[in-house]
Amino acid sequence: MRRAYFRNNWIAALVVAPQLLIIFVFFYWPTSQALYWAFTFEQPWGGGNEWAGFENFRNLLTDDRYWHSIRVSIVYAAGATVLSMSAALILAVFADRQLRGYRAYRIGAIWPYAVAAPAVGLAFRFIFNPSAGVMSYVNEAFPGFWDPILNGDHALIMVMIAGAWKQVAYNFIFFLAGLQAIPRSLIEAGAMDGASILRRMRDIQLPLLAPTFFFVLVININDSFTDSFGIVDTMTAGGPARATNLMVYKIYVDGFRGLDYSGAAAQSIILMLLVIALTVVQFRYIERRVHYT
């Protein structure tokens, strides 16, 4: 492998300085401020901080509404992850088999990843509108069948589907790359032995796809907890009756609307610790089942 060598260290420092500056400004500095605010009482209109210790965390962990947001976030993450990964795997299998028209929907399946979350939320908000969208035709045939405006379960399902659709394109890229990396000789050998398409997929392709599956699983779960704000804000604003008030959205509501900066900072720390814990659990108990060779 060829390596780049610099005669002067300041040239290398100048090259990496912009990236380090971005990381410091947009990650380390906000994180340090959140840690500071989480252990203090921040005044809504300024005027200094008062040391609070773990009081902000104690108030959150004794709040039923906060535990409700945790439960809703876990349900949303599980549902959106299963839906997005399942749909992406099916599309990737079709593209890998090069069925008729696979080039067109291979390109079409990648495009949605470029759509911003608020745009996805607005589109699905219209699609699932019980009186004006596509679901209005279902309600005409079955009155009261679908109403995410008043029914919290319907609203959560609607947000799950939108979040899953947004993530399908990302998953599709990795699943397709993983399937195409499997040697064709293995698939042909299974076909010569008389194995059906589903049998070859179950016994050959899916086991060899385990590393890709594990990577996509980790990314999807983390994304479901941290990158769902735009969809929730444009579709339901946390309602009805806090049915879609996910953890990341509750941070925004308490911090920017309720002006509880300290409480919102404590929530962000808990969310970060939860995501880290879930990632550690996945690497500890799921990765051991993954074979990379």
pLDDT reported for residue 1: 57
List beta partners, residue 50.
41
List beta partners, residue 234.
none
pLDDT reported for residue 191: 82
Q: What's the one-letter identity of residue 124?
A: F
pLDDT reported for residue 140: 87
Q: pLDDT means per 10 residues in the chain (293 residues)?
A: 68 86 91 90 74 91 94 96 94 78 72 85 91 86 89 95 92 90 83 81 85 92 92 93 94 90 92 92 84 68
pLDDT reported for residue 114: 81
Between the alpha carbon of residue 243 and those of residues 47, 76, 80, 255, 275, the distances in Å are 35, 11, 16, 19, 21
Q: Delineate the domains of the chain, giving CATH numbers in brackets.
A: 1-29 (no CATH), 65-289 (1.10.3720.10)
8 A C-beta contact, residue 253 and residue 275:
no
pLDDT reported for residue 125: 92
pLDDT reported for residue 101: 66
